[in-house]
Structure 1
Amino acid sequence: MNPILAACGNDCSICPRFMPKTEAQLKSTAELWYKIGYRDHLVDNEEIKCNGCTTDNWCRHGIVGCTSERKLENCGQCEDYPCPRIKEAFENTAKFIPDCRKCCTDEEFQIMKKAFFEKKKNLNDWHEKCK
């Protein structure tokens, strides 16, 4: 399966939140997000599901707004890549790796790794293609 990259380089095609998902899959994802510490309480399926990045969605680093303004699909297509904004996103994402290793099964961790922890690799690959 070809990756579906978010603006920040997350691989939506493997993300446990990206739709379509069953109600049971969403519940399991909500439980995982709570276990890892991505949420401070167990959220409902409506809150955990994701249909992809838009400027209306909350983005901690303002990446979606930036790529939207520049009319780019993701940061890897940007001439300023890697900028301080995406570097901060890489650093913040990496902070969750130890907790994921502790809390997740091997299978869960591999999904999290592919979906979120390889964003820098994903964007580097895109950036090389755009040169």
Structure 2
Amino acid sequence: MEEIAFCGNNCTMCPRYTATVSGDILRLKAVAELWYRLGYRDTIVSTDKIMCYGCPSSSFCRYEIQQCASEKRVNNCGSCKEYPCYLMIKCFEQTQKYAESLKWKCTEKEYRCLEIAFFSKKENLDSANN
């Protein structure tokens, strides 16, 4: 079963999340290296710092989506009566720009994984709530 985050990220396809929940330290190290190569991190961080168990409302969200969804008590933004709001539209636009900039920084296989996990937010939210 897919786990769709507030913003539409597909956690079940995220290499960081799946490596964390499976306890695969080698995959976590590979994710730390990928996150550095992609510019998600300034350095290659330890496996403890790269672990991810999903997005609790207390986590930092550059788009303020987690906080908003928590306040409205929705599972994800697609189930909100105001969807798509200005926060999500901004998130969709930024995600698309960022997706284009990453194509040359990773392999085709890595990019496809990121595309499903992160760059298909709108599609994930639309299909999760039909």
TM-score (norm 1): 0.91
Higher helix content, 1 or 2: 2
CA distance in structure 2 between the aligned counterparts of 1:82 and 1:120, rounded to whole angstroms: 9
Q: Note the residue ranges of structure 2 that are not aligned, 5 or more in a row.
A: none
| 1:86-112, Cα deviation, whole Å (9 max, x unpaired) | 111111211222332101111111100
Amino acid at match of 2:21: P
Q: Note the residue ranges of structure 1 that are not aligned, 5 or more in a row.
A: none
Amino acid at match of 1:70: K
Amino acid at match of 1:28: A
Q: CA RMSD in A?
A: 1.2
Residue among 121, 124, 128 paired with 1:119: 121
User: Percentage identity across aligned positions?
Assistant: 40
1:36 aligns with 2:59: no
CA distance in structure 2 between the aligned counterparts of 1:3 and 1:90, rounded to whole angstroms: 20
Residue among 75, 85, 88 paired with 2:87: 85
Count of aligned pairs between the two proteins: 127
The aligned residue for residue 62 of structure 2 is: 60
Query: 1:54–1:64: 8 Å Cα contact kept in structure 2?
Result: yes
Query: 1:36–1:99: 8 Å Cα contact kept in structure 2?
Result: no
| 1:55-97, Cα deviation, whole Å (9 max, x unpaired) | 2211111111111111100000011000010111111211222
SS of alignment partner, residue 96 of structure 1: helix
CA distance in structure 1 between the aligned counterparts of 2:45 and 2:94, rounded to whole angstroms: 22
Q: CA deviation at 1:126?
A: 3.3
1:7 aligns with 2:9: no
